[in-house]
Amino acid sequence: MPLHEDNKLPPHGHNEEIDASFGYERTDIRVTGIIVFLTALAIFVAVTGVLCWGIGKVINAELNKEDGKNTKWTKTVDVRELGNLPTSPELQNKMAELTQQFPTPRVQTDDGNQDLADLHAREDLLLNYYTRIDGQPGKVRIPIDRAMELVAQQGLPVAPAPQAATLMTGDQKPTVHAPLTSGFARTAYEMELERGEGARAERPKNAK
């Protein structure tokens, strides 16, 4: 049984001349297959790129038709032509229009800086100025510095002492009476009371 394949090794008795100018053994590797594979791969990549470019063009054209014709408010503006000014009124109007068109809830574009600044402004207004209290005519809020001065001068108000609760009809104030137990496993307190009562009972007898 032969140990080699007929298509790889020449049959016995037939010696082929080896050309050393190629630099490799031609029976081990075929350059033609590699060239065909690389060529097919390059063609596939080129065709795929052209298809993707064409699909992108078609999609952009359809989106432009749905959005309508560009106006001075919707056209793309090059910031470099405006002197690289991000606060340009034209850009602000465009951003405001896009923001209004975007469905809610919307993500804040300034990381909440404006809301935080408004909150601090309201806090400063309540803490540093006299303000009226809604729904309470004749009463105003005073600045915190003035409130601290009044507390230092007059002191904090003292709460009145709590009054004893008046018992209602049928209520009784709970009291604890000895013995604390039913006689089984008496406590030391109960035994001490019994010894004291016994001593007091013996004193009149000894006195007689």
Banded model confidence at residue 4, pLDDT cuts 50, 70, 90? very low
Flag whether pLDDT at 123 surpasses 80.
yes
Q: Would you state the pLDDT for residue 98?
A: 77
Task: List the domain boundaries for the chain.
Answer: 1-68, 70-107, 110-154
Average pLDDT over residues 72-84: 61
Choice between 150 and 64, residue whose per-residue pLDDT is larger:
150
Flag whether pLDDT at 101 surpasses 60.
yes
Choice between 161 and 39, residue whose per-residue pLDDT is larger:
39
- The answer to whether 173 touches 167, Cβ cutoff 8 Å, is yes
63 Ramachandran zone, left/alpha/beta (phi>0; psi -120 to 50): alpha
Mean pLDDT of the chain: 76
Flag whether pLDDT at 135 surpasses 50.
yes
90 CB-near residues (< 8 Å, 6+ apart): 77, 82
Choice between 169 and 141, residue whose per-residue pLDDT is larger:
141
% of the chain with per-residue pLDDT over 90: 18
Q: Would you state the pLDDT for residue 202?
A: 61
d(CA 144, CA 146): 5
Q: In degrees, to the nearest 5, what angle opens at C-alpha 68 toward C-alphas 64 and 72?
A: 100
**pTM (2 d.p.):** 0.28
Query: Cis (ω within 30 of 0) for the bond into 11?
Result: no
DSSP category for residue 132: E
